[in-house]
Amino acid sequence: MNQMALHKLGYGLYIVCSRKGDRHNGQIANTVFQITSEPPTIAVSINKNNLTHEYIKTSKVFTASVLSQDTPLSFIGHFGFKSGRDMDKLEGVDYKTGETQAPVVTENALAYLEARVIQDVDVGTHTIFIGELVGAEVLGEGEPMTYAYYHQVKRGTTPKTAPSYIEKKKETKSEMAKYECSVCGWVYDPELGDPDGGIEPGTPFEDIPDDWVCPVCGATKDEFERIE
């Protein structure tokens, strides 16, 4: 058996939100999918350790926002690498309150779906929540983010054919060290910089301002280690 076959499955990237009483939370999820069309039902698979899991289990409602391909890494990292137990992840983010009183993230979102749970399936580490659609809107035009695009283009080894590929500066090649974030594994490549974070391509790691943070997880500069 070659489990690499699993990596050939295609996924999107979504922010799944729920509430518990008047508290709310959201997280990144790649498994949101339509199950039936009559009536329209959707499912999400959520890790049992996540706060959003507890919220969906309690309130039996969830929303899913479809992220645009242009979504900044820092926005994804905010929902993916931080816990709502420590902070209000929706503070400072554009969102609205849906039919079910659950939050719906509208920032960087092309569309959203809102559902009431009709069944949940315990699958060990995760629960699959199946919900009947109670709300849905298209919010904007554009390409939805795929999981593959996020990993290949946004986070790392950018294929040259990708639309967001940044031409490398040849004269700076191999003179500047790469640094890896010890929290999330994202690699700072000086040749690419971090344009979303205001760091021009060609900026050595040492020259990055001290208040800069990892675009993926928000870790500070001192969490980075030189790798080559």
Binding site for Fe ion (CB under 5 A): 181, 183-184, 186, 214, 216-217, 219
For Fe ion, the closer CB: 38 or 228 = 228
Please answer whether residues 90 and 105 qualify as being in contact, where contact means their C-beta atoms are separated by less than 8 angstroms: yes
For Fe ion, the closer CB: 79 or 186 = 186
Q: Where are the beta strands (DSSP E) in the chain?
A: 14-20, 23-29, 32-37, 40-47, 61-67, 95-97, 103-105, 109-123, 126-138, 179-181, 187-188, 224-226
For Fe ion, the closer CB: 148 or 183 = 183
- Calpha distance 192→169 (Å, rounded): 8
Distances (CA, A) of 31 to 87, 123, 160: 24, 14, 28
| Least distance between Fe ion and beta carbon 23 (Å) | 27
Helix (H) or strand (E) holding 194: none
Residue 152, helix vs strand vs coil:
helix
Please answer whether residues 176 and 205 qualify as being in contact, where contact means their C-beta atoms are separated by less than 8 angstroms: yes
| Least distance between Fe ion and beta carbon 123 (Å) | 29
For Fe ion, the closer CB: 86 or 122 = 86
- Calpha distance 18→63 (Å, rounded): 6
For Fe ion, the closer CB: 28 or 219 = 219
| Least distance between Fe ion and beta carbon 179 (Å) | 11
182's tokens: 């010890």
| Least distance between Fe ion and beta carbon 217 (Å) | 3
| Least distance between Fe ion and beta carbon 180 (Å) | 9
User: Position of tokens 């060290």?
Assistant: 177
- Calpha distance 68→111 (Å, rounded): 9
| Least distance between Fe ion and beta carbon 176 (Å) | 19
Helix (H) or strand (E) holding 77: helix 73-80
For Fe ion, the closer CB: 115 or 214 = 214
For Fe ion, the closer CB: 93 or 187 = 187
| Least distance between Fe ion and beta carbon 223 (Å) | 7
